Each structure stands twice: as structure tokens, then as C-alpha cells.
Amino acid sequence: MMKHPTILAAATMLIGMASPGIAAEKCSATALSPYEQSVPTFHDHDRMKPQAAGLTGRFSAYTSIVDDQDDDTGDGQPDIRIGPAVVVYELRGVAPSISGNYDEPPVSVDGPSSWYASPELVPLVDAMPGVTQKRIDNSYDGIGTIWNRGHMAMNEHAQRIGFEAACNTHNFWNGSPQAAELNQGPWRHLENYSAAASNKFRSIWVVTGPIYDPATPRLFIGDTGEVPVEVPDAFFKVLIHESPSGTEALAFIFPQPNALGANGKPAPTQNWVKCSGQAPAGFEYNHEPNLVSIADIEQRTGIRFFDGRPNREALISFRAEHLWPVETRYWDSTAQCRGQRFHR
């Protein structure tokens, strides 16, 4: 167990990744996380935290806001979704190794097979009628090939802070039903890009979460008696970089169209290419069609970015046409996604 994640983070920044890889460590299989939820680090996750209603949870690797019993949809029913409305974290870059590679820390963390229970979310589950099996993980049982417990704050990003911080990404403050092929394909590649961008700029902020469209039917995973976990219609991600010349942001929306399958369960209606899967010759992940303005995200989520900043309107109305150029050397040489260490 790593007792001093702050020290590890500092060492990672200062001396780089010259050490050889180490054996994987397995997170505890206990029902509740045995790891301290939030310890002091050099990170300022809340600096870019948007305004959003709900319960706030602070962890070493991220801050999360979970939607509570309000009625954002206006249908007269509390929209308890058992998942984050938004997750925000500062992602600090790693230093290069002697070879010049910006590889991830020599920390390999295997998550628990069952995600950790969160006592703070129990009142939300208790408020749901007809729920007899109150372990949220039960709702995901047997559907892993269709729906993943999609991390909003990436486990590998948290590993830059340390083992315990990474283990604490495996809870439902940080997870939402995400189509497996989306989670393991373009979403993962964008996470790899985010890591590379943080290496180039030394630090960026990641603000991410689900989108629920009131006009579409509400679909849930979970059998009778289990916690009904709503399936999002899309996911957003905003990458923010501050420099002496100002603040820049890239905003993305990834639709997750779904419908009820023959078995009565939500099923994705779009296919994505997994990082480890087969792809057509010459295939590249291209995120430019997913670029939007932050105003588009605000309109679909009710979240408010950059509150109090005099240039807020300019920041939220801007829509980038291209991703930031991030040269190959800033990418982890062992990253998944079929070795694609470039982007469009």
C-alpha cells in the first residue's frame, strides 16, 4: 500500500520514468474502499470545477458531483441517476525518461472485480421504490460485453498520483454506463491524447460527464429489484489549458445512441472500433467531428463553466476546428489504441 501519494507524484514530475516496469498491484476486494479518500497533493482539481447541482465528493485524483433528487428533466419525478453529473481533475504531465519517452509511471493497478460501495450514495438508493438489491454493481452484472462501468476520471490518469488514488477511481462517484466499444475505442484514445497533452503543456484540466436528453426515452440497466442505473445519451469531455497568454479549451460530445434490444435491455445502436480490435486498413481515430462549443454542453447538461470570469462568453462560445497539435514524443510509447500516437 502506498502511504505517500504526494511524494510519488512529485518524484514522477521531477525524475521521469527511468525505472523499469513493476508487477501489477491488485486493489483490495473489500466492499468499501480501505484507502483514504482524499489526501493532499499538488493538484488543484476544483480550479476548473463548473457549477452543477448535487452532492460533491472529493478524491485524491478527482472531484465529482452526483445528481441528487432534483427534477432537471421537469417530468415531476426526481432524476436520481446513481452516477456523476460531472467529474473534474487536474492532470499533471510526467517528465521524460532518459530515452526521451513520456511513458506512464511504473505503477500497474488492477481494479477490484466489484466496484467499491459509496455510503454517501446510499440515501439516493434508499429513495428508489422497489429496490431490494442495493449494491449498484449488481446492475452491471452479466452485461460487460455491452456496457462498461465507464470511468470518467481514467484509472491510468490517477495512477500518476499513486496506487490508492487509482483504486479509488473504481466507485460510482466516477462511473456511468458506457457502451463497451465506445469506452474501449475512441473514448480511450481521447484519454490517451489528454495524457499526451498534459505532458506537452505540463498540466491540463479534464471536465467530463454524461448527457441525458429529456426528449429521448429513459433507458436503464438493472434487473427487477436492482438499482436502475440510467444509460446516458452521450458523454462530454472538456480539456482546458492555461498559459500566460490565456485559457484554451477543447470541448467534445460523443453520442451514445441506444435502444431496447430483443431482450428488453438497452443496446447500443452504433459500432465503434476498440483499441484492441480489428479495424479497416488505414483506420485512424478522428475526434474533430466530435468537437463542439462549451455552450453546447451547457445547453444539454445545465452545467455552467467559467462562472465569474469576465471572458466567460468568449470561452464558452468558441468551437475549435482542430485538436491541439501534440507531437508523438509526448505520447506514452506503450499506449493502447493500436499504437496510434497521433490524432486529427
pLDDT digits (tens, 9 = 90+) for 131-153: 999 899 999 998 888 999 999 99
Task: Let me know if residue 138 belongs to a domain.
Answer: yes
Asked whether the beta carbons of 56 and 64 are under 8 A apart, the reply is yes
Domain boundaries, position 288: 5-330
Quick one: CA torsion of 304, 307, 312, 316, rounded to 10 degrees? -20
pLDDT of residue 69: 62
Quick one: CA torsion of 218, 223, 226, 227, rounded to 10 degrees? -20
Query: Which of 160-174, 212-226, 265-279 bottoms out in mean pLDDT, i.e. has the lowest?
Result: 265-279
- 98 CB burial (10 A radius; 0-12, 13-18, 19+): exposed
Give the chain's domain count.
Answer: 1
Quick one: CA torsion of 162, 303, 266, 57, rounded to 10 degrees? 40
Separation of alpha carbons 146 and 204, rounded Å: 31
Asked whether the beta carbons of 214 and 280 are under 8 A apart, the reply is no
Q: Which of 173, 143, 301 is nearest to 235 (CA)?
A: 301
pLDDT of residue 263: 83
Distances (CA, A) of 316 to 245, 294, 305: 17, 5, 7
Asked whether the beta carbons of 155 and 104 are under 8 A apart, the reply is no
Task: Let me know if residue 285 belongs to a domain.
Answer: yes
Task: Let me know if residue 125 belongs to a domain.
Answer: yes
Give yes or no for residue 190 having a pLDDT over 60. yes
pLDDT of residue 7: 33
The radius of gyration of the chain from alpha carbons, rounded to an integer in Å, stands at: 19
pLDDT of residue 86: 98
User: How long a stretch of residues is the chain?
Assistant: 344
Task: Let me know if residue 341 belongs to a domain.
Answer: no
Separation of alpha carbons 33 and 40, rounded Å: 18
pLDDT digits (tens, 9 = 90+) for 6-38: 333 343 443 333 344 556 899 999 999 999 999
* Mean pLDDT, rounded, for 264-275: 89
DSSP letters spanning 155-190? HHHHTTT-HHHHHTTSBTTSEEEEEHHHHTTHHHHH
Give yes or no for residue 266 having a pLDDT over 50. yes
Bridge partner list, 35: none
Q: What is the mean pLDDT of the chain?
A: 88
Task: Let me know if residue 337 belongs to a domain.
Answer: no
User: Would you give the distance in Å from CA 193 to the centre of its chain?
Assistant: 13
Give yes or no for residue 2 having a pLDDT over 50. no
Phi, psi for 289 (deg, rounded to 5): -65, -15
pLDDT of residue 104: 86
Return the beta strands (E) in the chain as ranges. 25-26, 55-58, 63-66, 84-92, 109-110, 147-151, 175-179, 203-211, 220-221, 229-230, 234-243, 246-255, 258-260, 266-268, 291-292
Give yes or no for residue 193 having a pLDDT over 80. yes
Distances (CA, A) of 191 to 20, 30, 164: 23, 28, 20
Query: Which of 107-111, 167-171, 232-236, 313-317 bottoms out in mean pLDDT, i.e. has the lowest?
Result: 107-111
Biggest alpha carbon distance in the chain?
60
CATH assignment of the domain containing 215: 3.40.570.10
pLDDT digits (tens, 9 = 90+) for 44-92: 999 999 999 899 999 999 999 998 766 555 555 666 788 999 999 999 9
pLDDT of residue 60: 97
pLDDT digits (tens, 9 = 90+) for 289-335: 999 999 999 999 999 999 999 999 999 999 999 999 999 899 988 77
Task: Let me know if residue 338 belongs to a domain.
Answer: no
Q: Which of 210, 248, 245, 197 is nearest to 91 (CA)?
A: 197
Q: Which of 256, 262, 68 is nearest to 147 (CA)?
A: 256
* Mean pLDDT, rounded, for 169-181: 96
Task: Let me know if residue 269 belongs to a domain.
Answer: yes
Sequence-ordered list of residues with C-beta below 8 angstroms from that of 262, at least 6 positions apart, any chain: none
pLDDT of residue 108: 83
* Mean pLDDT, rounded, for 276-294: 90
Task: Let me know if residue 94 belongs to a domain.
Answer: yes
Cell matching residue 56? 460533491
